[in-house]
Structure 1
Amino acid sequence: MASIFAKWGEHLVKLTWIPQMKITELTKVTSVHAVCMLDGYVMLVHIKNRGFNYPGGHVEPGEELEKAVLREAYEEGYVIGSIQYIGAIEVSHEENPAFDPNGKYPLIGYQAFYRMDITECHPFLRKHESVTRIWVETSEVQYVIHDHELSQFILAEALTLNMDKGVI
């Protein structure tokens, strides 16, 4: 488990990475994300006005988390694969004086993360909010994602699953 404070827009939020956290309140999941792997590389997508990151996004009303992460990986990266849950970031606004209790986000919410082993890679069409995808060596991901340092904990957990399968 690792915690940081991050500035999101004008708001200061506490982010805590919790590997293998069991999510019991699905309504508090604000987004899903996939660490997409192919031949030892990580696929990152460049989202308009946000830079490179793991593909992901919001869960549609009534949508299962697994279906949402598969949909987002396809919409943003044009990939299909098998997924395995790796953990969640707890997003806490408890110390955020600008938090709006009537806003669209809960006081404490979660971003669910999965590892995807890509089985199909389709042509990149730029039909959604991503403008490109790139393939990055695992040791180089930290130099490409400029979001926050928790992305390295997430990648480490995803790679641990790889080692559990006996694949290096």
Structure 2
Amino acid sequence: MVQTTISYVKVLYELGMELSVIQEAERILNDVPQIQGVLGNPTISREAKDRAISRIFPKEIQNFIKVVNVHGKTALLQEIFQGYEEYRKKCQEIMTARLIYVTKPTQKQMDEMKQFLCNHFGKKQVLLELIEDPSLLGGFILQADDHEYDWSLRARYQRLGEKLMRR
């Protein structure tokens, strides 16, 4: 991420906007790619772009996007919105982990996994991405940052096979 993008990400975070507003603006950009073309078109006046921004985006984020437009950086909007989510998680000490399972764990089990990760990584909150994978045969794999905790039956069978081969 370039320094300009990082600066806009920090400003957006400090504005204290609701996450849902930022996600809505990002969704609009993703769903209607022509908007990026209009905002980036140098032949369209700034005033016309401002009117388009006022009609298209949520009221709470319009001024931010207009400032980005004034500085000619609308091509960075997608990257700014993506960087915002990363920066927000960092500032609020939130991490994302992936839980791959055969049988979905109970809420209590997921809470215990989240607590384990919070303690291990020193975070305040963990968001779990849940992925079902029957090929594990049983158990689960928990992935967080560069760590992987593999408690699947598939991995246990593989380790058992390796031990038997060494004998």
Structure with larger RCO (C-alpha < 8 A, sep 6+): 1
TM score, norm. by length of structure 2: 0.22
Q: More helix by proportion, 1 or 2?
A: 2
Q: More strand by proportion, 1 or 2?
A: 1
TM score, norm. by length of structure 1: 0.22
Larger Rg: 2
